[in-house]
Amino acid sequence: MIGTGILKGMAVTARNFVGSYFEKERLITVQYPEERSPLPENYRNFPILIYDTNDAEAGLRCVACKICEKECPPQCIYIVKSEDKKPDYMGKPQFYPAVFDIDISVCMSCQICVEVCPFEAIKMDKVFELSTRERFDALLQRKSELSKSNTYYHSIHPIEAAEVDGKLAEAAAKKKPAPAPPKAPPAAPSLGN
């Protein structure tokens, strides 16, 4: 019958309109910024650098290999590799980024830097309220602003961060030297004739 579709549509609208007085989930409008919808696990915005332990310098996973800088399509990552090495969180001497900047006015949130990083050092943040009146320097994120703890990473991407922890623990276990074989007992003194 002509008009059935319109009537069905109006019935859905009416049901949601009346229902919204009784069930909060029928309300589609969120009164931002007082109210916020939870962001899904895989929501992403701009990259951050992850560090382990409580020390943002010593625990930084990044070893300044510069792969992300090379692969970033709009070339918005700038890294200066250190001249010296410092022990990483596992005590192994590593280079580190003396400078690590990301120009988020250029970043297109493609996540390619994350995909190519062999050290699980760069991940995507969920922070989106970064607008500023100043277009250039204020949107240049420096190492100190980019560095976030693994605990923070777990708070924004719990499933992904747990998987990464598992992978790193597995890799660390493989690198551990195998335990030395037990020493043979000393030979018994031979009895003379």
Comparing CA positions, the residue from 137, 155, 146, 157 lying closest to residue 113 is 146
Would you count residue 164 as binding ligand SF4 (CB under 6 A)?
A: no
Print the binding letters for residues 117-136 with ligand SF4: x by CB under 6 A, - otherwise.
x-x-xx--------------
Would you count residue 60 as binding ligand SF4 (CB under 6 A)?
A: no
Q: Which two tokens stand for residue 101?
A: 């900047």
Give the nearer residue to ligand SF4 in terms of CB position, either 62 or 156: 62
Q: Which of 62, 146, 161, 164 binds ligand SF4 (CB under 6 A)?
A: 62
Q: Which of 48, 51, 52, 76 binds ligand SF4 (CB under 6 A)?
A: 76
Comparing CA positions, the residue from 52, 157, 61 lying closest to residue 100 is 61
Would you count residue 72 as binding ligand SF4 (CB under 6 A)?
A: yes
Would you count residue 146 as binding ligand SF4 (CB under 6 A)?
A: no
Would you count residue 47 as binding ligand SF4 (CB under 6 A)?
A: yes
Would you count residue 65 as binding ligand SF4 (CB under 6 A)?
A: yes
Give the nearer residue to ligand SF4 in terms of CB position, either 58 or 110: 110
Query: How many residues lie near ligand SF4 (CB under 6 A)?
Result: 26
Helix (H), strand (E), coil (C) string for the chain:
CCCHHHHHHHHHHHHHHHHCCCCHHHCCCCCCCCCCCCCCCCCCCCEEEEECCCCCCCCECCCCCCHHHHHCCCCCEEEEECCCCEECCCCCEECCEEEEEEECCCCCCCCHHHHHCCCCCEEECCCCCCCCCCCCHHHEECHHHHEEEHHHHHHHCHHHHHHHHHHHHHHHHHHCCCCCCCCCCCCCCCCCC
Q: Which window, 9-17, 35-43, 115-123, 176-184, contacts ligand SF4 (CB under 6 A)?
A: 115-123
Give the nearer residue to ligand SF4 in terms of CB position, either 13 or 75: 75
Binding site for ligand SF4 (CB under 6 A): 47, 62-68, 72-74, 76-77, 79, 102, 107-113, 117, 119, 121-122
